[in-house]
């Protein structure tokens, strides 16, 4: 067999190339820190690595959503906590304002401080997140949720939509809360109206016990039939026949002149009896009547001055919702009015206090909800971190590289390459292969 130069050079070139390829393959594995650089290295392992890599990529996308949701909810939590504290301050100031030793300057200072706190609360209700979105505006995050109308009252301008964050394959979580629910749709103090229907009496009426009155409202207020919300107090002289009741005209609200009131004062102490009936004529309560002394009925207190033989209508006012800032400002108007009586102020403070209490309860519920969602996000974040770590460990188990073994293999391949090169040099210099 004849050994040609082409054969010698071809075989040597292939040997050197193979040795060089093996060395480069090991170098690539060391650089990539994996034993599977290309699918042909381990087809099954490569597919498993791709599966784990895809899982981690999706978990990282969920991590981004969790981070965004956490940021939004933390802004809400801070705003709600500040609002709760501000409402506490306003309630304390209103309590101070009811002290009879306050001077006009004291009242003015208290009113000014409450006004400043109210403005601060308005800003908190219109809080923005880091990206400038209004956090209590629903899905319309580019416009403020609360605005002042021409009457100086705060109105809801947002919507009740909710934004969600997808934090796992089958789980999404609300990242916004509607300011309408938290601050606007707040039940105000329950009240009733009174009017003289018949007879020659002056009249004053107020809620004396709010708790008892609230229970009475819960049991007797009918939102669909207003007539059921009317109760009539009828006074009669002692010994009068039960059937002799004055005519009742619900359409007429009679005004009292100063002379009328003075004349009726002479009847204070005149004895009589009273009955309180509902819209069906059923007697709800009865007792002795003395002009000038209050008649108490389920938290309501009614005082009439004048002789027996009159009728007074009590109408349960429909429950009303309003922004707590409006209720506070209404109380401030009464507080700053020098002509307001102590009864006027007491009622205004009671109305504002009830609204503050109901708002704080709404805010507390909102904070609890936000806190629960933040806990859920933290748990999902911990789960995602653990899952990603598990995937990395699985990837290392499948395609991990033993650096010591790789370094040894690289050294061996380098030696083989050097040996191939040296062998080629020696063979090419042998006289047997010299050209003729």
Residues 140-186 have pLDDT tens digits of 888 999 999 999 899 999 888 888 999 988 889 999 899 999 999 99
Q: Assess contact for 183 and 324: CB atoms under 8 A.
A: yes
**CA atoms within a 13 Å half-sphere pointing along the CA-CB vector of 401:** 21
Helices 342-399 & 43-97 angle (0-180, nearest 10): 170
The CA angle 227-228-230, to the nearest 5 degrees, is: 75
Three-state SS letters, the chain: CCCCHHHHHHHHHHHHHHHHHHHHHHHHHHHHCCCCCCHHHCHHHHHHHHHHHHHHHHHHHHHHHHHHHHHHHHHHHHHHHHHHHHHHHHHHHHHHHCCCCCCHHHHHHHHHHHHHHHHHHHHHHCCECCCCCECCCCCCCCCCCEEECCCCCEEECCCCCCCEEEEECCEEEECCCCHHHHHHCEECCCCEEEEEEECCCEEEEEECCHHHHHHHHHHHCCCCCHHHHEEEEEEECCCCCCCCCCCCCCCCCCCCCHHHHHHHHCCCCCEEEEEEECCCCCEEEEEEEECCCEEEECCEEEEEECCCCCEEEEEECCCCEECHHHHHHHHHHHHHCCCCCHHHHHHHHHHHHHHHHHHHHHHHHHHHHHHHHHHHHHHHHHHHHHHHHHHHHHHHHHHCCCHHHHHHHHHHHHHHHHHHHHHHHHHHHCHHHCCC
Whether 5 shows a pLDDT value over 70: the answer reads no
The pair of structure tokens assigned to 174 is 């609300």
Contact partners, residue 333, CB within 8 Å, separation at least 6: 348
Closest CA to 161 of 138, 177, 140, 142: 138
Q: Please state, rounded to an integer, the average pLDDT across all residues of the chain.
A: 81
pTM for the whole structure: 0.71
CB atoms within 10 A of CB 385: 12
Residue carrying the six token digits 């093996």: 22
Render pLDDT for 359-398 as a digit per residue (tens, 0 to 9): 999 999 999 999 999 999 999 889 888 888 887 777 566 6
**What is the arithmetic mean of pLDDT over 307-315?**
92
Buried b (16+ CB within 10 A) or exposed e, 328-351: bbbbbebbeeeeeeeeebebbbbb
Beta strand 311-316 with 146-148 is unpaired
CB atoms within 10 A of CB 124: 17
| Domain span(s) for CATH 1.20.1330.10 in the chain | 57-187+335-385
Render pLDDT for 102-150 as a digit per residue (tens, 0 to 9): 888 888 899 999 999 999 999 999 999 888 889 999 888 889 999 999 9
Rounded-to-integer distance, Cα 73 and Cα 369, Å? 10
- Name the least confident of 47-61, 164-178, 338-352: 47-61
CA 30 to chain centre: 53
Whether 2 shows a pLDDT value over 90: the answer reads no
- Name the least confident of 152-161, 312-321, 405-414: 405-414
Rounded-to-integer distance, Cα 162 and Cα 139, Å? 6
Residue 88's pLDDT band (boundaries 50, 70, 90)? very high
Rounded-to-integer distance, Cα 230 and Cα 106, Å? 42
Whether 244 shows a pLDDT value over 50: the answer reads no
Closest CA to 316 of 230, 416, 243: 230
Rounded-to-integer distance, Cα 304 and Cα 296, Å? 12
Beta strand 294-297 with 300-305 is antiparallel
Q: Residue 256: what pLDDT?
A: 47
The pair of structure tokens assigned to 336 is 């700053």
The pair of structure tokens assigned to 112 is 């000014």
**What is the arithmetic mean of pLDDT over 79-84?**
95
Rounded-to-integer distance, Cα 311 and Cα 298, Å? 18
**With left for phi above 0 and alpha for psi between -120 and 50, is residue 198 left, alpha or beta?**
beta
CATH number for 57-187+335-385 (one of 1.20.1330.10, 3.40.710.10, 3.40.50.720, 1.10.10.60): it is: 1.20.1330.10
Whether 247 shows a pLDDT value over 50: the answer reads no
The pair of structure tokens assigned to 171 is 């789980």
């Amino acid at each position: 067999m004849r050994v040609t130069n082409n054969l010698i050079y071809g075989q040597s070139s292939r040997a050197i190339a193979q040795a060089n390829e093996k060395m480069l393959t090991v170098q690539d594995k060391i650089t990539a820190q994996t034993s599977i650089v290309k699918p042909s290295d381990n087809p099954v392992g490569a597919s498993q690595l791709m599966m784990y890599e895809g899982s981690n990529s999706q978990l990282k996308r969920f991590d981004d959503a969790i981070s965004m949701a956490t940021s939004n909810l933390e802004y809400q939590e801070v705003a709600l906590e500040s609002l709760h504290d501000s409402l506490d301050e306003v309630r304390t100031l209103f309590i101070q304002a009811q002290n009879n030793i306050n001077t006009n300057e004291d009242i003015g200072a208290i009113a000014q401080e409450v006004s400043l706190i109210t403005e601060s609360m308005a800003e908190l209700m219109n809080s923005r997140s880091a990206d400038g979105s209004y956090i209590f505006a629903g899905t319309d995050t580019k416009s403020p949720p609360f605005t002042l109308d021409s009457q100086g009252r705060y109105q809801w301008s947002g919507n009740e939509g909710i934004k969600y964050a997808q934090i796992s394959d089958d789980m999404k979580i609300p990242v916004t809360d509607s300011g309408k629910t938290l601050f606007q749709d707040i039940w105000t103090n329950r009240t009733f109206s009174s009017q003289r229907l018949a007879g020659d009496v002056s009249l004053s009426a107020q809620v004396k016990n709010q708790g008892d009155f609230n229970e009475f409202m819960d049991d007797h207020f009918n939102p669909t039939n207003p007539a059921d919300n009317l109760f009539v107090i009828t006074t009669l002289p002692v010994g009068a026949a039960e059937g002799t009741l004055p005519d009742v005209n619900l359409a007429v609200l009679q005004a009292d002149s100063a002379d009328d009131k003075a004349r009726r004062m002479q009847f204070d102490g005149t004895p009589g009896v009273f009955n309180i009936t509902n819209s069906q004529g059923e007697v709800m309560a009865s007792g002795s009547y003395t002009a000038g002394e209050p008649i108490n009925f389920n938290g309501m207190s009614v005082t009439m001055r004048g002789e027996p033989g009159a009728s007074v209508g009590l109408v349960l006012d429909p429950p009303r919702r309003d922004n707590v800032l409006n209720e506070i400002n209404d109380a401030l108007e009464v507080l700053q009015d020098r002509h307001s009586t102590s009864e006027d102020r007491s009622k205004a403070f009671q109305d504002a206090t009830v609204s503050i209490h109901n708002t704080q309860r709404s805010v507390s519920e909102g904070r609890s909800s936000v806190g629960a969602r933040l806990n859920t996000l933290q748990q999902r974040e911990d789960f995602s971190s653990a899952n990603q770590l598990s995937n990395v460990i699985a990837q290392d188990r499948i395609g991990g590289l033993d650096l010591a073994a790789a370094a040894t293999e690289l050294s061996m391949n380098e030696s083989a390459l050097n040996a191939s090169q040296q062998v080629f040099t020696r063979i090419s210099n042998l006289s047997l292969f010299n050209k003729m």
